[in-house]
């Protein structure tokens, strides 16, 4: 396994991040334990979760599974760079979601209890909260850092200008601010190239793409098997809609002698701004197969071919849409 810095921090993380969204709803606790143990065996030290994963409001099912895995000992927690998230609905009362200082405080306490740990390495805002000023958010996050309950703060699903605004306000407060962004980014969905990736590069944020296989579509004909919670319902229609592109893509991968899922991951890894794509296996073989992606390299001709099959926005803003 290869390792890299998480953005401008001194923190070293594996080039693949273990996504745990399927743990509980799709993967049994026993199998989840085995996958996490295997991840460590393979050198993967970066695990991503969220307080809402498990999809039972208020239970934090997935975090509980990870917590029970940590509780087995064997330095499991010490070997793991642990990332979780705050924002989603964790109860029926008005302040049980989003990014108010109150919800941030009560959410971190809930995550720490479920995860059976005394700190979270990377605490991520799962979405932008347009009703809460960043001054309030940073005041709450600063307190958690001072208390030793979190070490770094990240974002997910932020626009480029959100990243800029958040970090400028943090800078004015003499606080480190965002160190990572977790965007939707893959060969099929490349809008992040316009503003999000340039903002991350400029502000020194690590990029942790979610849905690197486009809900299984970029796994080719195995896409239905690879589809996670987000893609299960619509993957068949998507595969019909993009049938010709998928055919060309599978042909390209066959010529390379690589499976489509690994080519999709390798393409993300070839971008210098990307830290670690999130791989969210439901089965052990999906995890072990993904390690090959770290070794795949592309020629300039191959990169151009991928751009032809899965065209991006033709550059960064404003050149992507203006002269």
Task: List the catalytic residues.
Answer: 53
pLDDT confidence of residue 222: 59
Average pLDDT over residues 190-216: 97
Task: Return the structure tokens found at 12.
Answer: 């070293």
pLDDT higher than 90, residue 224: no
pLDDT confidence of residue 226: 53
pLDDT higher than 80, residue 227: no
pLDDT confidence of residue 143: 98
What is the homologous superfamily of the domain 3-309 according to CATH? NADP-dependent oxidoreductase domain (3.20.20.100)
Average pLDDT over residues 195-220: 96
CA distance 148 to 145: 5
Nearest to 46 by CA among 15, 22, 2, 85: 15
CA distance 106 to 45: 27
pLDDT confidence of residue 231: 54
Task: Return the structure tokens found at 305.
Answer: 């071919």
pLDDT higher than 60, residue 223: no
pLDDT higher than 60, residue 232: no
Domain ranges in the chain are 3-309
pLDDT higher than 80, residue 235: no
pLDDT higher than 70, residue 234: no
pLDDT confidence of residue 225: 55
Q: Token pair 């998230």 is at which residue? A: 85
Average pLDDT over residues 269-298: 96
- For the chain, give the mean pLDDT: 95
Residue 251, CB-side half-sphere exposure with 13 Å CA sphere: 8
What's the first-to-final CA gap in the chain, in angstroms? Answer: 42
CA distance 164 to 195: 10
Which tens digit of pLDDT belongs to each residue from 144-156? 999 999 999 999 9
pLDDT higher than 70, residue 257: yes
pLDDT confidence of residue 323: 87
CA distance 19 to 277: 9
pLDDT confidence of residue 229: 53
pLDDT confidence of residue 312: 96
């Amino acid at each position: 396994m290869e390792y890299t810095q998480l953005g401008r921090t001194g923190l070293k993380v594996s080039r693949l991040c273990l996504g745990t969204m399927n743990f509980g709803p799709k993967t049994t606790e026993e199998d989840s334990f085995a996958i996490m143990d295997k991840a460590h065996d393979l050198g993967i030290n970066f695990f991503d979760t969220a307080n809402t994963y498990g999809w039972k409001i208020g239970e934090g099912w997935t975090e509980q599974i990870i917590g029970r895995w940590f509780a087995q000992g064997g330095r499991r927690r010490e070997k793991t760079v642990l990332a979780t998230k705050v924002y989603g609905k964790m109860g029926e009362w008005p302040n049980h979601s989003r990014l108010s200082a109150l919800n941030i405080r009560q959410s971190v306490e809930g995550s720490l209890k479920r995860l059976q740990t005394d700190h979270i390495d990377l605490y991520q805002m799962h979405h932008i909260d347009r009703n809460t000023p960043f001054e309030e958010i940073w005041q709450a996050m600063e307190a958690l850092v001072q208390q030793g309950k979190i070490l770094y703060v990240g974002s997910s699903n932020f626009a480029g200008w959100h990243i800029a605004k958040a970090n400028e306000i943090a800078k004015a407060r003499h606080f480190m601010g965002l160190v990572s962004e977790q965007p939707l980014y893959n060969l099929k969905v490349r809008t992040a190239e316009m503003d999000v990736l340039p903002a991350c590069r400029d502000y020194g944020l690590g990029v942790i793409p979610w849905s690197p296989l486009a809900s299984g579509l970029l796994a080719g004909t195995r896409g239905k098997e690879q589809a996670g919670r987000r893609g299960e319902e619509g993957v068949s229609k998507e595969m019909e809609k993009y049938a010709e592109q998928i055919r060309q893509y599978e042909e390209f991968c066959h010529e390379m002698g690589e499976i489509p899922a690994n080519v999709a991951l390798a393409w993300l890894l070839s971008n210098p701004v990307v830290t670690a794509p999130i791989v969210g296996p439901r089965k052990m073989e999906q995890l072990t197969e993904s390690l090959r992606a770290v070794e795949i390299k592309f020629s300039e001709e191959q990169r151009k071919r991928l751009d032809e099959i899965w065209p991006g926005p033709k550059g960064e803003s404003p050149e992507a849409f203006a002269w």
